[in-house]
Amino acid sequence: MKVKHHLIPALGAALMLVSCGQQNQSSNGALSSSAAEKVYVAPGEQDEYYAFLSGGYSGNLTVYGLPSGRMFKEIPVFSQFPTSGYGYSEETIPMLNTSHGFVPWDDLHHPDISQTNGELDGRWIFVNGNNTPRIARVDLGTFETAEIIEVPNSAGNHSSSFITENTEYVVAGTRFAVPVPQRDMSISEYKGNFKGALTFISVDPEHGHMAIKFQLLMPGFNYDLSHPGRGKSHGWFFFTTYNTEEANTLLEVNASQNDKDFIAAINWKKIEEYVNNGGGTKMPANYAHNVYDEHSHTGTTTMRDEVLTVDPTKVPGAVFFLPTPKSPHGCDVDPTGQYIIGNGKLSADLTVHSFDKMIAAIEGGKFDGEAYGIPILKFEDVLAGQVKSGGLGPLHTEFDGKGNAYTTFFISSEVVKWQLGTWEVIDRKPTYYSVGHLMIPGGNSRKPFGKYVVAMNKITKDRYLPTGPEMEHSAQLYDISGDKMELIYDFPTHGEPHYAAGCPAELLAPKSQKIYRLDENRHPYAVTTADGAKVVRDGNEVHVYMSTIRSHFTPDNIEGIKVGDKVYFHITNHEQDFDVPHGFAILGQNSSELLVMPGQTKTSVWEPKQVGVWPFYCTDFCSALHQEMQGYVRVSPANSNVELKWSLGE
Amino acid sequence: MKKASILMIIGPFFLLGLYVFPLWNIMLGAPQYPDPLGLNIHINGLQGVNEFDIQNIDGLNHYIGMHTLPKVEDMWEFGTFPIIIGIMVGLGVLIGVLGFLEKVSYKWFLGWFALMSLMGIMGMYDFNEWLVDYGTNLDPNAIMKLTNPDGTPMTYKPPLLGHVKMLNFDVTSLPATGAWLMFLGMMMTLAAGFLGWKDKKTKT
């Protein structure tokens, strides 16, 4: 009898499953054919959107097209990149300098495209290095890293690199609280002693150059993610926190005890005013500022020795805490600037705070105590609503500009679409698997382009042909133009994408640079005409001023180099034709090749260790006579008297 | 005759377009040049359609042993043509004014047109001569010495008018804005001659 009772519902469930399965199968055919049409970009045609996916631990930024999912470029930012010689060439080594010396790797997380009036303007894209805290600016004309600034007093540069709505600031918050300034102290004395620095880096409106305007030294919580206010809330910045317990060990347990952590609301305009009126304290610091000049094709490092710090308790009315349940991760602001969404990652629900209510509560002076002198607002006073999603592990939210929000759920592995204001769930679709961030082009600006959402997953498993234990990550593309989301494509992504940023193709494609002008090349070792090519010895340093054009090097025979010399090959590409790079590699080079774009100069150092005649060649299949683009360097013993000479065609 | 003379005065001014706009245009498209390279031929020199086109055409042509495209100082035509055009404009306008003042007859209009046409034909002939030399006078040490199926050396003369497929390139050669303005101006002078003739006929 008992057995029967159990069997009947089980059978019923099984039947439902079967019929569901069949229904799905029958509709799948039609679905997949229309999905194929939606993502198919025919040969020779171009995508509708650019998508910039962070490369995570690759340290790079990858450029994709949507809806095709085709990868167009990997932009080296925080990591050495032998493909182009970035971080290996003499010109780009300075880009990776820090106060800890040359750091050739980082963990790149959150790309954000520059904005004007809260809308994407496509001038630059900012990205953060998480490990050795740095912010980089990538130029969206050249698609190359233009500037990197190190962030002192920070550790785990994670609530970064988000920009304010006129790109006044790029903001970098610390995930790990640390002693400020750094000093030798017991780890167990963390609580009450460590600080969480939130750094506001000003961006020069014309050239994009970055400078640290001020650092707000907050209590030693973990500042996880952030986003700017926009529209009515422009002038504010919101940061999620976890570990308000200030635990220093076994955080997975000890930092998960408080029922609520905070969203920190920062009125940066107020602090800016305070600082402009002479407020704040200058503190000795040591950090690198690396700027790449497009005309000299050279990066330079300047070490900075001071930073302006601000104690939040000294600026009344500038900083407040909004209680938010369960270690919130993502902190997202809707396009109107009214709603601040805290994605409580250990919760099933989303907490939505109201900007208007927050302002009313502040004006009404209704506080629920304070933490380290910072007023805490009452949860009920600022709460706009809660989304009872039914999912588990909400992480990040983006917006379509039509009143809907889309939130990823890591644990239940899905994207949930819900409505702002009613907090009702409209649709949910699985992801494959364990989604982190999601991205709608412009989805964190005043003007989202709500056609596609890309979900970036942490686990790939069986989505593609297996490639051993290590696989690329996986992204899913959903069409969100209708009421229901539709999964239309799957594509592998490089490194570990965290956040991404996207924009319409027409914002960037027309201004994408084709060549560097040779007549604007101001590299000190450039040769702008082939007859200027030469070899100059200075002690045991030898400078080779070499030019390239299809299909030869000038010079291509060099004699008089000796073992123990340090030979600098300065290669100038004389092409002024789109997409005709030349490469340079020489046998025994202890670095990488150089890939030199038209009009550009790059330098590789070669220290020959063996006597002989050593070939060099062009590594890029530049032309029909690419194979012939080669040359020799004669290396003589250290004490020899072979005359220094160079030639071409003699 | 007044109407005819006014046409005769205005017509030659259209030739001034040649100082601004190219006379002729040659475009070279290839699979790896989806945006074709282009050459604008002005009366006073050659210009790339895009800034670096001449350099890039020369760069490609060196493989097959073609000479580089002529600079202003390499061809007497670039010095002489602007002077000839200037003289012809002056002469045409002068004839028109004299016609207006009834000092000369419509025959002078037709005479100017005939002279201009003759010069145009001579110019075209000269241009074609240059194209022949440019396309056939090849460096004997060229990197690629290609032959036709019959064994004769391949040459690369661009067409005077129209389209030719040359190795991987599609070459199209057409009159450009300056030439069209010149044709328009010349047609006006021809019309002036015709009107003058009709005028004369009705009067007699």
Q: Is the pLDDT assigned to residue A7 strictly greater than 70?
A: no
Give a yes or no: residue A409 inside a domain. yes
Q: Based on the domain organization, do A162 and A264 belong to the same domain? A: yes
For residue B204, the model assigns a pLDDT of 67
Compute CA distances A246 → A76, A189, A315, A456, A619, whole Å.
Answer: 36, 10, 24, 30, 53
Q: What's the mean pLDDT in A334-342?
A: 97
Shortest Cα distance from A229 to chain B (angstroms)? 44
For residue A5, the model assigns a pLDDT of 46
- In a 13 Å sphere around the CA of A511, the CA atoms on its Cβ side amount to 12
Residues contacting A351, CB < 8 A, separation 6+: A324, A325, A328, A341, A342, A344, A383, A386
Q: Based on the domain organization, do A487 and A561 belong to the same domain? A: no
Amino acid letter for position B15: L
pTM: 0.91
Q: What percent helix, strand, coil does chain B show, rounded to 5? A: 55, 15, 25
Are residues A567 and A584 in contact, defined by beta-carbon separation less than 8 angstroms?
no
pLDDT tens figures, A396-449? 999 999 999 999 999 999 999 999 999 999 999 999 999 999 999 999 999 999
Please name the helix (run of DSSP H) or strand (run of DSSP E) that holds residue B133, with its range, or none: helix B106-136
Highest mean pLDDT among A257-261, B23-27, B151-155: B23-27
Instruction: Tally the residues of chain A.
Output: 650
Average pLDDT, chain A: 94
Give a yes or no: residue A5 inside a domain. no
Identify the residue among B28, B53, B56 best suited for mutation to test binding to A, counting A beta carbons within 10 A and taking the highest.
B56
Tokens of B77: 């035509």
Residue whose C-alpha is closest to residue A107's, from A21, A49, A175: A175
Q: Is the pLDDT assigned to residue A603 strictly greater than 70?
A: yes
Q: Where are the beta strands (DSSP E) in B7-71?
A: 24-30, 33-42, 45-48
For residue A22, the model assigns a pLDDT of 41
pLDDT tens figures, A509-548? 999 999 999 999 999 999 999 999 999 999 999 999 999 9
Q: Is the pLDDT assigned to residue A106 strictly greater than 50?
A: yes
| Burial class of residue A616, CB neighbours in 10 A (0-12, 13-18, 19+) | buried
Q: Based on the domain organization, do A403 and A551 belong to the same domain? A: no
Amino acid letter for position A294: E
Least CA distance to A579: which residue of chain B?
B32
Rounded-to-integer distance, Cα B1 and Cα B12, Å: 17
Number of structural domains (chain A) is 2
Please name the helix (run of DSSP H) or strand (run of DSSP E) that holds residue A487, with its range, or none: strand A486-493
Q: What domain range includes position A527?
A: 521-647
Q: Based on the domain organization, do A324 and A473 belong to the same domain? A: yes
Q: Based on the domain organization, do A507 and A527 belong to the same domain? A: no
Give a yes or no: residue A34 inside a domain. no
Instruction: State the CATH number of the domain containing residue A617.
Output: 2.60.40.420
pLDDT tens figures, A228-246? 999 999 999 999 999 999 9
pLDDT tens figures, A535-586? 999 999 999 999 999 999 999 999 999 999 999 999 999 999 999 999 999 9
Are residues A348 and A389 in contact, defined by beta-carbon separation less than 8 angstroms?
yes
State whether residue B52 sits within 8 Å of chain A by CB: yes
Chain A: which residues have CB within 8 Å of chain B? 515, 549-550, 575-578, 624-625
Q: Based on the domain organization, do A253 and A166 belong to the same domain? A: yes
In this predicted complex, what is the ipTM? 0.85
Q: Based on the domain organization, do A130 and A223 belong to the same domain? A: yes
Tokens of B148: 């036709």
Residues contacting A395, CB < 8 A, separation 6+: A329, A330, A343, A345, A407, A408, A409, A410, A435, A436, A437
Q: Is the pLDDT assigned to residue A29 strictly greater than 80?
A: no
Give a yes or no: residue A3 inside a domain. no
pLDDT tens figures, B82-112? 999 999 999 999 999 999 998 999 999 999 9
For residue A20, the model assigns a pLDDT of 41
Q: What's the mean pLDDT in A259-278?
A: 97
Q: Based on the domain organization, do A487 and A529 belong to the same domain? A: no
Instruction: Tally the residues of chain B.
Output: 204
Report the percent of chain A where pLDDT is more than 90: 91
Residues contacting B39, CB < 8 A, separation 6+: B25, B26, B27, B28, B46, B47, B48, B49, B53, B54, B57, B69
Q: What's the mean pLDDT in A304-327?
A: 96
Q: Based on the domain organization, do A275 and A321 belong to the same domain? A: yes
Are residues A319 and A299 in contact, defined by beta-carbon separation less than 8 angstroms?
no
pLDDT band with cut points at 50, 70 and 90 for residue B200: confident
For residue A539, the model assigns a pLDDT of 96
Give a yes or no: residue A80 inside a domain. yes
> What residues of A are in contact with residue B56 (Cβ under 8 Å)?
576-577
Q: Based on the domain organization, do A132 and A238 belong to the same domain? A: yes
